[in-house]
Structure 1
Amino acid sequence: MQPRRGSAVLAIVIASLLWGTTGTAAAFLPDAVSPLATGAATMGVGGMLLLVTAPRLSVAVLRGPARGWIAAGAIGVFVYPLAFYTGMDLAGVAIGNVVALGSGPVVTALLEWLFERRPLTVRWVVATALAIGGVAMLAFARHPGDAADGRVLPGVLAGLLAGLAYGLYTYASARAIAAGGTSRGTMGAMFGSGAVLLLPVLALTGAPLLADASALGIAAYLAVGPMFIAYLLVGVALRTLRSSMVTTIALLEPLVATVLAVAVVGERLEPVAWVGLLAILGGIAVLVSARPPGRARGAALDFHA
């Protein structure tokens, strides 16, 4: 049975709140821990958790008709954390988050149009324009000293690469579920496959994580909370919501990340950035206040391995 639309929206909201803590948590890792190690640990370990807690469901999806989408999504799962944490390391928590997550809705909508010829609704265009406008305000409303060391532009480019990967695996997840896979099995198969690619990166770069107990604790939180639990919730939501709607609602993440970056990490934003926060909230409100569309094809949710 599919979750109600309100429950699906709530699942993405909770996932976004968890995702929004990633940059702040990573900011407290020792300097010796590279962003590549952080990304590989977060989604490598988290992806393996999704796989090993539902092995039969995951294998069934890997053997099913959606295995091509699983493979495509796994590439996105591999690229996303490496680019995402690199972007935050170079450009800061706020910019890294808003660029990566802000580009996600555009990628998923274009993939829906390319593969399904789904038209872009006026409401989606207005909501996404508001939200991405807010993202742009956040990304560029920085005090001038930030750009002086030449790290912001590479960070923005890394964020855009992360957004492309994020949109790809979100859309691929939706297609795999629509093809008949359970949401639990789809998450396990896709993120487990991506984890197989990420664990060698962790083996090469992760030594500083093992040398510090606090770093291990932070990495464990990132793998279990913003990865394992959050993507279980995404799987639930994708049974009811289009991938483009999921990525637009998930723009709550950069909002949360920005507030935490300012309040906890100590990053500074200009007043226009706070207008950007309101624009993101407005875009999400426009989108989720729409009357439900026709029920999308979904798959039964089964939490038994």
Structure 2
Amino acid sequence: MPNRTSRPTSARPAEPAPARRPHHPLRGGPAPILTACLLWGTTGTVSSFAPAGAPAAAIGCAGLALGGILLLLTSRGARSLPARCTRSERRLLLLGAFAVAGYPVTFYPAVARTGVAVATVIALGSAPVFAGLLAWLTGRARPTARWTGATSAAVLGCTLLVLGPRLTGAGTPIDLTGVLLATFAGLSYAVYALIGGRLITHGHESGAVMGALFGAAGLLVLPFAPFVDVTWLGTVRGAAVAGYLALFTVYVAYRLFGHGLRRTSASAATSLTLAEPAVAAVLGVSVLGERLPYLSWCGLAVLGLGLVLLAVPAKGAVTEGR
């Protein structure tokens, strides 16, 4: 109801609001995340060029330490973020940093014990499930029928893609300890994706959040350096591999991932990252000369269908946490 006691105002016409560019449904969230997946998918191929004898865990930790510290130093507001956070947000930052550090510590040993294919499908296949369940348990969002169906298709396609060659009876035997380590890697990824998404929806800049999480994680893995062989870093090939992993698969990829989390739910984001095994498989065929059976190509098609369902939002869909 208008205030009758207020003084009359001039009849000057209101200034038109600045025109907004139409928001494309893929540009703000899924596209940066899928681009990050393209970079993550190169990890296995690039790592294969490391000098012989370089420990898998050392390769992963070197990339995280160098890339994480680079993110911390170059992301605006990353170093001052803890001071601007509430006490509960600082606890989330600490938990997220441990989760980020926990991924290479568990994933790369899982690869060494049970092979790249099995470790990848378990870690990346379990991450969306963990993310959806954790979002539900913390009251962030309930899994929708669309998310459940799309994620199930993506997990099935991912399984067929990477396990297709093993169904012929060839390949490395599955190790139970390796399976458990890969599962913990999937949980670690889901945890820091959810924490990063929550801090971003609280109003913190995505670059600052990713820089703080990965910078702290990079510092956390540095104490492991004396216990692993790092002499390979002194070679030209070793330095090139570590530099690529740090710059592209950590620094650039996680800046894109953080940007994507601004408009994509963490559960959907972790499901979208199931594109990584597809990229790794294509690179394996085209660069390393590997061959995929017909069943794996079918899995690639099913995986693509699930990713399309996740990337193109339904009409009226609301991003969780917003």
| TM-score in terms of structure 2 length | 0.84
- Partner Cα separation in structure 1 for residue 145 and residue 102 of structure 2: 32
- Partner Cα separation in structure 2 for residue 209 and residue 63 of structure 1: 40
Give the 5 Å matches for 1:198-277: 198-277=221-300
Question: Is it true that 1:279 corresponds to 2:299 in the alignment?
Answer: no
Amino acid at match of 1:36: A
Give the 5 Å matches for 1:121-270: 121-141=144-164, 142=166, 143-147=168-172, 150=173, 152-270=175-293
Secondary structure in 2 aligned to 1:116?
Answer: coil
Question: Is it true that 1:294 corresponds to 2:315 in the alignment?
Answer: no
Aligned to 1:71: 94
Aligned to 1:303: none
Amino acid at match of 1:144: G
Whether the aligned pair in 2 keeps the contact of 1:62 and 1:70 (CA below 8 Å) is no
- Structure showing greater Rg: 2
Quick one: structure 1 residues 67 and 254, their matched pair in 2 at CA, closer, same or farther if it must change by over 3 Å? same
- Partner Cα separation in structure 1 for residue 289 and residue 182 of structure 2: 21
Report the alpha carbon displacement of residue 44 of structure 1 after superposing the two structures with TM. Answer: 1.2
Question: Is it true that 1:6 corresponds to 2:26 in the alignment?
Answer: yes
Cα RMSD after superposing both structures:
2.3
- What percentage of residue pairs aligned between the two structures are identical? 36
Quick one: structure 1 residues 61 and 183, their matched pair in 2 at CA, closer, same or farther if it must change by over 3 Å? farther
Amino acid at match of 1:28: F
Quick one: structure 1 residues 97 and 278, their matched pair in 2 at CA, closer, same or farther if it must change by over 3 Å? same
Instruction: Give per-residue Cα distances to partners, 1:113-172, cap 9 Å, x unaligned.
Output: 01125111111011001011112223432142313xx46554433322211111111111
Report the alpha carbon displacement of residue 202 of structure 1 after superposing the two structures with TM. Answer: 3.0
- Partner Cα separation in structure 2 for residue 153 and residue 20 of structure 1: 25
Secondary structure in 2 aligned to 1:290?
Answer: coil
Q: Which has the higher helix share?
A: 1
- Partner Cα separation in structure 2 for residue 70 and residue 189 of structure 1: 8
Aligned to 2:65: 44
User: For structure 2, which runs of at least 5 residues remain unmatched after alignment?
Assistant: 1-19
Report the alpha carbon displacement of residue 102 of structure 1 after superposing the two structures with TM. Answer: 1.6
Quick one: structure 1 residues 274 and 62, their matched pair in 2 at CA, closer, same or farther if it must change by over 3 Å? farther
User: For structure 1, which runs of at least 5 residues remain unmatched after alignment?
Assistant: 299-305
Give the 5 Å matches for 1:52-91: 52-54=73-75, 56-61=77-82, 63-65=84-86, 66-91=89-114
Amino acid at match of 1:33: A
Amino acid at match of 1:49: L
How many residues align structurally?
A: 296
- Partner Cα separation in structure 2 for residue 84 and residue 23 of structure 1: 12
- Partner Cα separation in structure 2 for residue 95 and residue 260 of structure 1: 17
- Partner Cα separation in structure 1 for residue 58 and residue 129 of structure 2: 28
Amino acid at match of 1:67: R
Report the alpha carbon displacement of residue 38 of structure 1 after superposing the two structures with TM. Answer: 0.8
Report the alpha carbon displacement of residue 96 of structure 1 after superposing the two structures with TM. Answer: 2.9
- Choose the corresponding residue for 2:117, options 75, 90, 94: 94
